[in-house]
Structure 1
Amino acid sequence: MSRSRASAFGTRYAVSTGHHLASQAAADVLDANGTLVDAMLAASAVLAVALPHATSLGGCAMMLTYDASSRRLHALNGSGVAPAAAEPARFPDGIPARGPHTWVVPGLVRFWAEAHAAHGRTPWRELLAPAIALAGQGMGFSSELARNLGNAKPEVRRQPGFAQAFLAEGQDRCAGSLYRQPALAETLSAVAMEGADAFYRGAVAQRLCAYAESVGALMGREDLAAVRAAWSEPVSQSYGEWKVSVMPPNSVGVLMLAQLARLQPVLGEAREARLYTQIMEASRWLPRLRDRVADPGAAWPWPSPAEPSARLGDPREHRDGDPGDTAGIVLADAQGNGLVMLQSVFQPFGSGCVDPGTGILMNNRLYEFSLDPAAHNRLAPGKRPVHTLNPYIVQAGGEPVLYAVSPGGVSQTTTGVQCIGNVLLDGMSLPAAVDAPRWSLSRDGEVMCEPGFSAAVVEALRASGLAVTTDSLHPFYFGSIKAVRRLPQGVLEAAADLRREACAITR
């Protein structure tokens, strides 16, 4: 059964996001002559209201942009940093998965401000108006939010503020029920009128830090005031006739490039041969390489493609927990501009902590740090953790041909390689590329293959000694691609993957 919406074709712009109201908000901004960044900001705020299990003002973001006038790509890193009090010595029993000690200082609102200062023209009060109305007047409780709420474990549910935010009369809110978030509407209104400083230095910061103190969190006023979002150059990798660009470390996007590098020798072979090679290579080193990604400026020595057996050290310790959850935005216009953006609180419902005074759910991204003194990703105050957000842009002859994102933790990288292969190597239409059965790796390295995945590849993997399962699969490992493809005559094709909630619009 097809999962994706039928692809939409347009000549003015294309939008694909993780919720239909976010896609509509972006389209409305573009119809009113706003920029792509204006549209991103409007959609991003709506996602933070509609999908709080995946994204929140208490989370972070990363984005790649392509500017057609300069023919240049840029990367904007809005990931949060560890609070000043987050010393490794505070965690003698390990970093907890949930709760007040798992917060990094949120970077999303500062990310908005930096992006808007560079490429926006519509006032914030107009861009945030749809999100404010949805939070204050109410909206239907999302089916995706309800699905995640039903899966929420006691460790998440017992966190301060969680029940008040997501339960009604002691019961989980149901999909389609009216969902109002008045405190969040007030917070967004303050940000709309006063800008990012309202969040990081003003009344919102004061209320959020009062909550942090009351629950014993590590974040303080000085931490919030110091948050910055940084522009940088993307990292790129040739892949046959194409160039694939991703965020630099601390993003795990470089792990996707490393997978592409290992596929270069089999580019001309049949699809099954490429899938087999990718899975064998990734299962061998991907779980071990992840903790070598670190904050920008730290060393990141990934092995050469010519040395597939390079010593990678011990695998990172297995950690129980849910796969990461994320919300994505992909935008492109007729002038050739485009952007890909992801925002997240890490695992579903992040830390589980929701401040009743601001309506903000806080992330649990601190859990991504290592406590190993030798690790590149070792916890340190003011440092960004290894980050699963992996937006990517593919170019041919210097011009973008594919913009895409997907949630799914580190499996964003394996999903990305499969999407690129489906579209560019196998010539699939965008909906077919999105719908094609995928594989992923579990946290303990088991290969998971969706129903309909190549039986010949599954058999070959098992014969090679890999553990492969096609049963009882956690759906979140397989992501939900949002993608826009630029066709040769400038027509834009958009698709949205309904493995999770998503919507594509073109005009």
Structure 2
Amino acid sequence: MPFVAAIRRALLSAALALLATAALADGPGRAAIASPHAEATAAARQVLEQGGNAFDAAIAISATLAVVEPYGSGLGGGGFFLLREQSDTAHYRFLDARERAPGASTPDMYLEDGKVRQGLSINGALAAAIPGLPQALADLAATHGKLPLRDSLAPAIRLANQGFAVDRIYRDRATMRLNALRDDPESARLFLRENQVPALGTLIRQPELAATLQAMADQGRDGFYRGAVGRKLVEGVRRAGGVWTLDDLAGYRTAWRQPLRYPLAGQRELISSPPPSAGGVALAQSLAMLQRLPWQGAEPVQRTHYVVEVLRRAYRDRGLLGDPDYVTNPINRLLARQYLSGLADSIDVHDATPSSALPPAPAWREGDHTTHFSVIDAAGNAVSAILSVNLPFGAAFTVPGSGVVLNNEMDDFAADPTGSNSYGLAGSQANAVAAGKRPLSSMSPSFIESPSQFASFGTPGGSRIPSMVLLSMLGFLEGRPVSEWPAIPRYHHQYLPDVIEHEPNTFDDEQKAALRARGYALKDVQRSYGNQQVLYWDKRAGTLEAASDPRGVGEAAVLE
């Protein structure tokens, strides 16, 4: 009988464990949104209250950001969407909506007499790759949404017609690209006032963009890639010296990819972006190396040393990656435990490792003004997305009559893979220009999940994205309040240049002196950077939190 009782107790314990697991698998019961603009958060709230899910809300946020952040994203750009689908268990998918090079693209299209022609991959129609965001919004509605696309686009259409007020972030980005905006009459008409950056509070109306969004609401993806809008886009690009064709637009497709997944200590798992993002690999490598180092108990300078050294090694491998449809990415080798253990063991406890002492690798550069949001619904479906047009206001070229600001993502390719690009940086053959190819990116929307916790991360910031996300993840791993994750002072190292870039108030004078004594060069970038939006769901406590980066003008909300 004691044996039978023991069996009964074991069965009861197992049943209770299963019940607990089932309870933890349920959604948070409420929704939360963290976006970089209050209007985008309001649009997501509206769609959720109409019965939409996180994927419908992601469409509403993306479309609204296309209206209020023409400097960061839009229908003329692309992005990455990391999805968490809640059913009996969590399933993850990755929607690659990165722009693709036009069919007429060639490796030497930005060269003249063997040298890069300054500006062609940055400003104007030739700098624009084929946009991916419109296709992504249609795909999300068709495969994951509960509402028709027109309902999710409605808030953005209304806002484009009614207008939005210029804020400090808009003024900052427009100032950065003022000359390029002035050079394009349509961009100047829409986004400047008398050829100057608009004053705070100025109302920006975009009826042409509203009409383009309405065409998508009526016709789905064909409302953008075909028909009147498609013809208008191609004609406008070609008149301005670009190489788009109707076939380029009609043939654009997103790619569903398997997210990068990497096990972490404490039953946690990193779920992040696969190539053509290099960011997920860099995050996995950095976290794996830090697990072998005593970073949590270290004083600030020692901790910075550990973080910088793992970033140095992770960023060195970036030049090996490219569009997986065109190159074979050595992911298994780069994430092999033996390889990462060797990298961690090569870190000197006290002194900086000069990048010149590591095996050589190609350098690279990408635009650093994108946008990010996170959203989770009551059922546990979630999206972390980073959208981009590359540099602020992309190519600073708006197709007349469409309201669509085009990206300059062609600049993310290696303009000269055998020499250097317009920034004097060595190119990467894996990221060379090719027809239909997607340029490499650091954009890395990410989750960390365990049986008891779920957290969502991501930020704009170009090459600095992985370092920013890593610092926020470390805040999560050491149990800091959610509100602090996006606020953590930022520093960055990317192998080359061999320097720690940092925000103005990241280090005090004593810490700077200590870092220099270890062999580091430091560069104050003289401004804050990044704009991270984070979510946290404590499954055991049943609590849900969201936070928006204090550097921006975003808004985080937990719906009741």
TM (normalized to structure 1)? Answer: 0.91
Equivalent of 1:279 in 277, 300, 308 = 308
User: What corresponds to 2:396 in structure 1?
Assistant: 352
**Structure 1: segments with no counterpart, 5+ residues:** 1-9
Matched residue SS, 1:237: strand
Matched residue SS, 2:374: strand
CA 1:156/1:440 → structure 2, altered by over 3 Å: closer, same or farther?
farther
Equivalent of 1:316 in 363, 368, 378 = 363
Equivalent of 1:62 in 64, 75, 80 = 80
User: What corresponds to 1:102 in structure 2?
Assistant: 127
Equivalent of 1:294 in 322, 326, 330 = 322
> Please, what is the CA RMSD of the aligned residues?
2.2
Equivalent of 1:469 in 523, 532, 554 = 523
Alpha-carbon deviations, 1:378-437, whole Å to 9, x = none?
11101100023210000113x651011111112110011110111122x11011222221
Q: Which moved more, 1:42-51 or 1:239-248?
A: 239-248
The answer to whether 1:415 aligns with 2:450 is no
User: What corresponds to 1:30 in structure 2?
Assistant: 48
Deviation, structure 1 residue 182 = 1.1
CA 1:284/1:35 → structure 2, altered by over 3 Å: closer, same or farther?
closer
**Structure 2: segments with no counterpart, 5+ residues:** 1-27, 347-356, 419-427
The answer to whether 1:491 aligns with 2:518 is no
Amino acid of the residue matched to residue 304 of structure 2? Answer: L
Moved over 4 A (4+): 309-312, 454-457
Percent of pairs identical after alignment?
30
Deviation, structure 1 residue 195 = 0.8
- Contact 1:266/1:274, CA 8 A, preserved across alignment: no
Matched residue SS, 1:492: strand
Alpha-carbon deviations, 1:71-94, whole Å to 9, x = none?
211111111110011101322232
Deviation, structure 1 residue 247 = 1.3
Q: Aligned equivalents of 2:498 and 2:127: distance in 1?
A: 25
The answer to whether 1:266 aligns with 2:313 is no
Amino acid of the residue matched to residue 115 of structure 1? Answer: L
Q: Aligned equivalents of 2:242 and 2:493: distance in 1?
A: 33
User: What corresponds to 2:35 in structure 1?
Assistant: 17
Matches within 5 A, 1:55-454: 55-69=73-87, 70-92=89-111, 93-94=115-116, 96-155=121-180, 157-159=182-184, 161-241=186-266, 242-252=268-278, 253-267=280-294, 269-271=296-298, 272=300, 273-283=302-312, 286=315, 288-297=316-325, 298-301=327-330, 303=334, 304-308=339-343, 312-316=359-363, 323-370=367-414, 371-372=416-417, 375-397=429-451, 401-425=454-478, 427-441=479-493, 444-454=497-507
Amino acid of the residue matched to residue 342 of structure 1? Answer: I
Matched residue SS, 2:291: helix
Matched residue SS, 1:305: helix
- Contact 2:95/2:254, CA 8 A, preserved across alignment: yes
User: What corresponds to 2:24 in structure 1?
Assistant: none
Alpha-carbon deviations, 1:220-277, whole Å to 9, x = none?
1111111111212111122322211111100122122222122121156425344321
CA 1:376/1:41 → structure 2, altered by over 3 Å: closer, same or farther?
same
Matched residue SS, 1:122: coil
Deviation, structure 1 residue 51 = 0.4
- Contact 1:245/1:392, CA 8 A, preserved across alignment: yes
Matched residue SS, 1:266: coil
Q: Which has the higher strand share?
A: 1
- Contact 1:262/1:278, CA 8 A, preserved across alignment: no
- Greater relative contact order (Cα < 8 A, sep 6+): 1
Q: Aligned equivalents of 2:134 and 2:171: distance in 1?
A: 26
Matched residue SS, 1:77: strand
